[in-house]
Amino acid sequence: MKIKDGFILREVAGSFIVVAVGEAVKNFNGIVNLNETGAFLWKILEKGAEREDLIKALLSEYEVDEKTAAADVSAFTDKLREAKLVL
């Protein structure tokens, strides 16, 4: 799974936001608000990663158990797919 070209993550005024740039603006004119965990996962997905990689990354970065991490990753990636932000 990988973030599509044309989307950028930025931290502005304490918020993590994703917007489209260039040609991608034609299909996506909104603003996505991410929390800190979302931004963390997004940065990994910019390079491309599998579900297991994301869970591992969460476990090493945050104090969560595996079940919670897996659920968080699923919830996040489902939303990204729904918004058509990933390939």
Partner 1 sequence: MFSVPRYKIADVVFDAQLIYGYTARLCEKYLYSGGDTPEFTAVMDKADVDAEKKAAGAENFPDYYLESLALFRKLCDYILTYRQGIIFHSSAVAVDGKAYLFTAPSGTGKSTHARLWREMLGDRAVMINDDKPIIRYIDGEFYVYGTPWNGKHRLDTNTRAKVAAICEIRQGKENEIRRITPKDMLLVVMNQTIRPKDTEKLDNLFFILDKLLSSVPLYRLKCDISTEAAKTSFRAMVENKI
Binding site for partner 1 (CB under 8 A): 8, 10, 12-15, 17, 19-22, 25, 31, 33
Residue among 17 and 39 whose Cβ is closer to partner 1: 17
Minimum CB distance to partner 1, residue 54 (Å): 25
Q: How far is CA 17 from CA 12, 53, 56, 59, 73, in A?
A: 7, 23, 24, 23, 18
Minimum CB distance to partner 1, residue 10 (Å): 5
Minimum CB distance to partner 1, residue 47 (Å): 18
For helices 36-47 and 66-82, what crossing angle results, to 10°?
70
Helix (H) or strand (E) holding 13: none
